[in-house]
Amino acid sequence: MPLGDIAIWRARISDLSQFSLKRSSVKSKSCYKSPLSDLLLNTPFFLFILILFGDFLIYSALLLCIHDMNWSFIFHSFKCFLSKKGLRLLSVKLYIITLIQLSILLLSHDIEINPGPQLFGNLSICFWNLNSIMAHNFEKVSSIIAYNSIHKYDLICLGETYLNSSIPSDNQDLIIDDYNVIRADHPNDTKRGGVCIYYKKSLPFRNLNAHFLSECIVCEIDVDNKKCILILLYRSPSQTPLEFQNFLLNFENVLEFVHNLNPFICLVIGDFNAKSHSWLADDVTSVEGTEIEGLTSAFGFFQIISEPTHILPNSSTCIDLLFVNQPNLIVNSGVHPSLHPHCHHQVIYAEIDFKIHFPPPYQRLVWDYSKANAVAINSVIANFDWATAFSTLNVDDQVLFFNDTIMNIFKNYIPSKVLTINDRDPP
C-alpha cells in the first residue's frame, strides 16, 4: 500500500477513536452500528482484499496501518466486527459479489465454465470412405471406435455416409463417446454420398458454413493460437462433364475463400474419384485428375498420399487424397487397411506438428566473386577441347561432364570457402 494511502487510513481510523465501542442496548443494532465495522464492511478495498487473501491478511494489514493506536480500541473493534451479525452481513455481501461475478462469466458467450488449460500436441486426422455408415446394422461405427482406440485421432472424416434427414445426428448408433459430429448429407436428401466429421469435444472446432459445394465441410481448428482450416469433400464419379466443370468452379471458390482467411495451414481431404500419374506411378492420369491437380497446384497445395487407396481384385488406384499447403508440417502420413472386409477404400491419415522447428545447421560453399580471375576462366574455357571430350558421351553424360568441368575451373580461379550455416544466424 502506498505511504499516502496509509496516512489517509490512519487519519480516518484515528477519527473513529472518539466514538464509544460499547454495544447498543438494542440487540438488533448491536454490531454493524460500530463505526469501525461499518467502515470495514462498506469499503470496497477491504472487501476486495478479503476475497483475494482472506481474513488473516486483512487484519494484519489493518494492524500495520494503526499500530500506534490503543490496543483496547482495536480489540473491541475486532470483537464487534467478528460477531455473528457482522459476519452474517459480510457473508451476504460476499455472496452477492460472487453471484455477480458468476453471472458475468455465464453471460460471456466466448467463455466456457472452467475451461481449464488448452494444451495441444500434434493434430491427427484420418479419412475413410466407408460406403454407407448404416450398412450391416451400423457395425462400421464399432470398427471405427476400435480403430480409434489405438490411434486416438482428433478428427475422423468419413465419406459416402449415405445419411439423410431420417437419421438424426443424435441417433444412438452414430454416437462416438467424447466426439461431436457434423454432417453434410447429399443435397437431394437421398441415402447416398454425403460426408461427416467426428471431432473431439475438447477441440476448438468451428464450422465456417462455406456452402460452395453441397457434399463439403469447411471448418476451422485453433491449435496453439494457429489457425488450421480443414476442407472435407466427396466428388461423385458419375458427374457429367458439365457437372464436373461446376464442381471445379465451386471448388475454386472454396479454395479462394480459405486463402482469404490466411490460415497457418490448410488441408483438403476426401474421395475425389480422380487419378494422376504424379500421385501414384501406376495410375493413368484422368481428365478429372489433370484439372484437380492443376487447380490445387495453383493455390500452392501438394498431394501427399502416394499409395493405393481403392483396392479391387484386379486394380488399385489412389483416389482418396490429402492436399496440404504446408507439407513441411506433416510429420506422419500414409494409408491403413480398410476397417471392413466389404469396403474397398483404405483409410488415409496424417499428423500435423504446429511447432516451428528450425532446420539443422548445414554447410554451404561461398564464392568471393570480387576476387575472381575472369581472364583466366575465359582462357581455359576457350582453349578446352570440348568436341573431343563430348565425342564418346551420350547427352546425359555430356551435361554431367560439362557441369563438373565448369565447377573445377571456377574452383581454381574463384576464391571460395565452406561455411556452416545456422538458420538462427542473422542474414
Both 282 and 154 in one domain: the answer is: yes
Q: Say if 301 falls within a structural domain.
A: yes
- For residue 36, the enclosing domain spans 3-107
Residues shown for the chain: 427
Both 202 and 159 in one domain: the answer is: yes
Q: Say if 118 falls within a structural domain.
A: no
Both 341 and 381 in one domain: the answer is: no
Both 192 and 268 in one domain: the answer is: yes
Can you tell me the distance from the alpha carbon of 181 to that of 169, in angstroms, rounded to the nearest whole number?
A: 7
Both 180 and 326 in one domain: the answer is: yes
Residue 105: predicted pLDDT = 62
Both 344 and 390 in one domain: the answer is: no
Tell how strand 155-159 and strand 123-129 pair up. Answer: parallel
Both 133 and 189 in one domain: the answer is: yes
Residue 96 grid cell: 452477492
Residue 42 grid cell: 462498506
Q: Say if 116 falls within a structural domain.
A: no
Both 278 and 366 in one domain: the answer is: no
pTM: 0.61
The domain boundary, picked from 65, 80, 107, lies at 107
Q: Say if 348 falls within a structural domain.
A: yes
Domain count, the chain: 3
Both 394 and 334 in one domain: the answer is: no
Q: Say if 288 falls within a structural domain.
A: yes
Both 98 and 31 in one domain: the answer is: yes
Residue 148 grid cell: 480409434
pLDDT along the chain (427 residues), means of 10: 51 47 42 47 49 48 48 52 55 65 62 52 93 93 96 97 94 95 95 96 94 95 91 96 96 96 95 96 95 95 96 95 94 95 96 80 88 94 93 92 94 91 66
Provide the CA 257 distance to its chain's centre, in angstroms: 19
Residue 272: predicted pLDDT = 97
Structural contact between residues 159 and 195, judged by C-beta atoms closer than 8 angstroms: yes
- Where do the H-state alpha helices sit in 152-261? 241-261
Question: CATH code at 134?
Answer: 3.60.10.10
